[in-house]
Amino acid sequence: MEDLDTKTRILDAAEKLFSDNGFSAVSLRTIIKAAGVNTASVHYHFGSKDGLIAAVFERRATPVNAERLEMLDDIEAEHRSGPLPLKLVLQAFVFPVVRLRQDPKSERPMFARLMARLLNEPDPMAATIVHDTFTTIFARFSTAFARALPELPPEEIYIRIHFAVGAMAFSIAGPHFFGDHKPQGTQTNINHIMRSLVDFIEAGMRTPVTETVPGDET
Amino acid sequence: MEDLDTKTRILDAAEKLFSDNGFSAVSLRTIIKAAGVNTASVHYHFGSKDGLIAAVFERRATPVNAERLEMLDDIEAEHRSGPLPLKLVLQAFVFPVVRLRQDPKSERPMFARLMARLLNEPDPMAATIVHDTFTTIFARFSTAFARALPELPPEEIYIRIHFAVGAMAFSIAGPHFFGDHKPQGTQTNINHIMRSLVDFIEAGMRTPVTETVPGDET
DNA sequence: GTCTATACCACGATAGAC
DNA sequence: GTCTATCGTGGTATAGAC
């Protein structure tokens, strides 16, 4: 664990710290100490803190997105015509994010928390990273959702994808605010939560649009 | 606008800056300059940056939560026995958040963005603030949802509330990552989005639980 | 009680020696 | 590729003026 090159050691240390505490709460000096490298090495290898964040994220996002697209390819191959099964599309969207488990001690996979953190980060740099690593995913799944929900107008699908992403991100990264109100026997296992999430989103996606009320134009 | 007392001027300036840029991106020195007050006055009146964040948030959260509870009281008064209408409960939960418009220039109400920012903040201090200002709301609405969905087990309601909150927070505060994929004619009006959100959540909440798969125990 | 001036230490970033 | 020194800015603390 200590014989890896500087770059990897920085990435590993940063990944753990960022997923646990968020980006702005973790200083480069903390990462440097945890990785056991020199002060300036982060800037040498990654240019800036933002560059490091992007590198940490993209290292994991690439295989996750590849798996998402593979699963979607399989679904589309088996349903060349007619509507796609919505549940399968949703599973292809959600499950690969959770599958990658780097830290066996943690209940939730690091990449999932990392992604959720990035999605909720107000910093415009985060938005750029998200946009760049997810445009392909967004485009491919948008059309897949359109094929799974042929009666839903594209504008509504667009909005509902955002609801779905928000629900996913929050339930993955969100602190457990109301643990003191948690009913006995609540499943905190991430796989159970994600399956519950897929059911929730599926129903939300399927619901027909209600007629527009006057006075809503932007 | 300049004759207000120091405390209010700090709160107003901070509220605007925080909702636009998030908390960590805005320095106290920026707030101080915008408010035209002295460097130390923030610490005098609010103790710390976290104290200021809490004060900014609670000033708006109090009336919003009061309105939520009023609406819920009305619903419960009209349905003394039997199940509550889910849609009305959801509207009581969502709409007051969006109603408060302090900044006419912005498309989205400041408090809504502020709340969403706070919900997604990794800092434990944010979790404390959220917990303190929302426990009553969470408890009251939990039992209301249980009355609206008598067949759903409490553990599932607990989880689904988190999905709902995540969807709401993300669609309010989330940067518009994929504006370049936005279909023509998409409604960006906050009232339209929130009504769409209520439909989405209602369907997600209503969907029956699927049987548990073995190997999911935590 | 309210406000002001000033100082302190940690942070991200950079330049230049090795 | 690595290390050290240093800069500007951030949150914070406090002593003292009104």
pLDDT at residue number A103: 84
Q: For B5-24, how does the pLDDT look when each residue is reduced to its tens digit (9 = 90+)?
A: 999 999 999 999 999 999 99
CATH code of the region A58-206: 1.10.357.10
* C-alpha gyration radius of chain B: 19
The whole-angstrom distance between A31's CA and the closest CA on chain B is: 17
So what's the pLDDT on residue B85?
98
Which of A146-150, A171-175, B145-149 shows the lowest mean pLDDT across its residues?
A: A171-175
Buried b (16+ CB within 10 A) or exposed e, B174-189: bbebbeeeeeeebbee
A201 to A93, A205, B149: CA distances (angstroms): 11, 6, 17
pLDDT tens-digit map of A94-127: 999 999 888 888 888 999 999 999 999 999 999 9
Residue-wise pLDDT for B62-95, tens only, equals 999 999 999 999 999 999 999 999 999 999 999 9
Sign of the Cα torsion A48, A53, A54, A60 reads positive
B135 touches strand D (CB under 7 A): no
What confidence tens digit (pLDDT) does each residue in A182-216 have? 999 999 999 999 999 999 999 999 999 997 766 65
pTM as predicted: 0.95
Q: How far is A34 from chain B (nearest CA, A)?
A: 20
Of the residues A108, A118, A159, A176, the best mutation for testing chain B's interface (the one with the most B CB atoms within 10 Å of its CB) is A159
Strand C bases with any atom < 7 A from protein Cβ: 2-7, 10-16
pLDDT computed for residue B1 by the predictor? 47
Q: Nearest nt to B45, CA vs C1'?
A: C2
Give me the residues of B, 56-95, that contact A with CB < 8 A: none
